């Protein structure tokens, strides 16, 4: 890895660009950091995607062992360069070093998980043999597998500078599907993006794979991102960020002469439902866990619990008092960048201005740190939620609204009126959970992951995890952005009819040289 940041784009293994235009910022100090970064334009976008398109053809014939070795090498490179990557990420995001160290481990672990997956099980080979003597018509030989879609554009997320960024799930999932990647670095942490991109570039060179399979473009504005989405060689797009940004990319992709999918993860309020039995038995315990979840990462998790619903009464008041008490002990902290801080300030001011919404508690005061976010606990009667549609909008940061419900019937009515979320949480006894099956069924339509007696922050990347949800949480609720199932964002089924065995992909050949489990004549063998 190069010892100094260059501020240049990395396009097909080569540094490109001159004359830096923007810098990373230290959000804790509000000061610009060293190294100016280049702005990508049409020339860089065209070059990166042309190289990616050529690389895609080559990758289709690369042995799977080589793809797996590449991903393992990326994991090794992240760990070897971890101290330097973490130090820069800490400067650019103000995230704690230990949090970043954990995230780096998750990022390397994701690469290893997709290395194991690269063997081909994800391809889901299906074979139906020919029946030439079938009457009244012969049956042809039909075989189908999933195959990569082509060049993928990945937008780095602001809140996960490692795990959902340049070498995050989307990039390693695309590589496992033999798709090249053009990454758009996040302007809030460009130095981190460059350091991680060099790990990938060096791993590609080590594996002797086409250098065009990866490029990093830097930009502080929207033009380069839109150009990447609109480019005719782009086959799919991954984005994690605001509803406004994700929707703009989604609309641009849909307006293309040949529309492409944009897998955008956007706004989510992640409701928490506290049933009466749980409130009566565990009000203070739930309050403690809730405040901790709300303030994890200064509330800058996409699964941050932005609203709570509980039935009014003594248990409700006990819960509210405990939440406010715990919140008062939380110190203010710097957010990821000035844009997020400004949006949080506007969002909490908007909530304060709505008649019927009251500020019930705040985090600890700190007059010496004005450019920070403080936890804010609002309270309102549940009926207000259905009368004021703006209460459905996410406020990104450590703020929440606790709604006082008349009864569980009103709680169910509120659930029916909610927009889609990444998560929904229920606290209750097992008996209550069974009794409130209607609530569970509603939430199955409203969220991608339903949590029982826990909290939504914190993800376990694995094959079973689904991190997605109905709009506006994502643009397509079928797909996950975390876990190995993310590979299905970047593949599509291709059917081969009456092909000679020698011309088929290995996964579909009669001898099954890859020793995969396949669906053959409707039997999994």
DSSP 393: S
Distance in angstroms (rounded) separating the CA atoms of residues 390 and 101: 37
Q: Of 44, 66, 41, 74, whose CA–CA distance to 210 is shortest? A: 66
CA distance 294 to 152: 33
Q: How far is it, in rounded angstroms, from Cα 79 to Cα 155?
A: 22
| Alpha-carbon distances of 39 from 51, 143, 162, 223, 377, rounded to whole Å | 19, 46, 21, 10, 40
460 is catalytic: no
Using DSSP's 3-state secondary structure scheme, residue 95 falls into coil
**3-state SS assignment for residue 170:** helix
CB-based contact 25:31 (threshold 8 Å):
yes
Helix or strand or coil: residue 493? strand
Helix (H) or strand (E) holding 449: strand 447-452
Place of tokens 């979320």: 421
Active-site hit among 103, 194, 265, 507: 265
What residue has token string 């990647």? 181
Rounded Cα distance, 192 and 25, in Å = 12
- State yes or no: is 506 an active-site residue: no
Question: Tokens representing 286?
Answer: 């739930």
User: Of the residues 38, 179, 193, 302, which is catalytic?
Assistant: 302
Task: Write out the catalytic residue numbers.
Answer: 265, 302
């Amino acid at each position: 890895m190069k010892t100094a940041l260059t501020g240049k784009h990395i396009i097909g293994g080569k540094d490109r660009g001159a004359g830096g235009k923007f810098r990373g910022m230290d959000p804790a100090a509000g000061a610009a950091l060293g190294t100016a970064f280049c702005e990508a334009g049409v020339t860089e976008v065209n070059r990166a995607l042309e190289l990616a398109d050529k690389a895609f053809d080559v990758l289709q014939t690369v042995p799977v062992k080589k793809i797996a070795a590449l991903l393992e090498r990326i994991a090794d490179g992240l760990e070897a360069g971890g101290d330097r990557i973490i130090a820069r990420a800490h400067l650019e995001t103000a995230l704690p070093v230990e949090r970043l160290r954990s995230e780096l481990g998750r990022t390397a672990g994701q690469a290893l998980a997709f290395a194991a997956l690269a063997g081909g099980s994800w391809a889901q080979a299906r074979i139906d043999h020919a029946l030439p003597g079938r009457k009244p018509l012969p049956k042809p030989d039909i075989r189908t597998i999933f195959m990569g879609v082509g060049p993928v554009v990945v937008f780095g997320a602001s809140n996960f500078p490692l795990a959902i960024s340049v070498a995050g799930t989307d990039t390693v999932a695309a590589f496992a599907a033999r798709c090249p990647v053009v990454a758009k670095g996040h302007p809030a942490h460009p130095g981190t993006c460059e350091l991680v991109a060099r790990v990938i570039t060096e791993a590609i060179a080590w594996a002797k794979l086409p250098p065009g399979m990866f490029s990093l473009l830097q930009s502080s504005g929207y033009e380069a991102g839109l150009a990447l989405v609109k480019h005719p060689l782009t086959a799919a797009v991954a984005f994690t960020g605001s509803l406004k940004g994700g929707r703009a990319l989604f609309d641009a992709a849909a307006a293309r002469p040949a529309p492409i999918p944009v897998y955008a993860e956007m706004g989510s309020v992640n409701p928490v439902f506290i049933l009466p039995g749980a409130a009566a038995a565990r009000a203070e315990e739930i309050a403690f866990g809730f405040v901790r979840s709300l303030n994890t990462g200064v509330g800058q998790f996409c699964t941050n619990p932005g609203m709570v619903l509980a039935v009014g009464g003594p248990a409700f008041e006990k819960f509210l008092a405990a939440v406010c008490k715990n919140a008062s002990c939380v110190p203010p902290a710097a957010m990821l960048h000035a844009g997020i801080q400004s949006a949080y300030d506007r969002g909490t001011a908007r909530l304060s201005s709505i008649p019927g919404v009251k500020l019930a508690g705040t985090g600890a005061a700190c007059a010496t740190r004005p450019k920070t976010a403080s936890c804010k606990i609002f309270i309102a009667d549940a009926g207000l939620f259905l009368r004021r549609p703006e209460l459905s909008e996410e406020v990104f940061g450590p703020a929440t609204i606790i709604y006082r419900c008349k009864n569980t019937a009103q709680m169910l009515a509120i659930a029916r009126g909610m927009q889609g979320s990444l998560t929904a949480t229920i606290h209750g006894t097992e008996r209550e959970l069974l009794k409130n099956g209607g609530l569970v069924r509603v939430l199955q339509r409203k969220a991608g992951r339903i949590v029982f007696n826990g909290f939504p922050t914190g993800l376990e990347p694995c094959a079973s995890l689904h991190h997605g949800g109905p709009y506006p949480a994502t643009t397509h609720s079928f797909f996950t952005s975390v876990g190995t199932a993310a590979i299905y964002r970047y593949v599509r089924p291709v059917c081969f009819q009456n092909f000679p065995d020698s011309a088929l992909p290995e996964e579909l050949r009669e001898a099954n040289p890859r020793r995969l489990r396949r669906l053959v004549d409707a039997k999994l063998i």
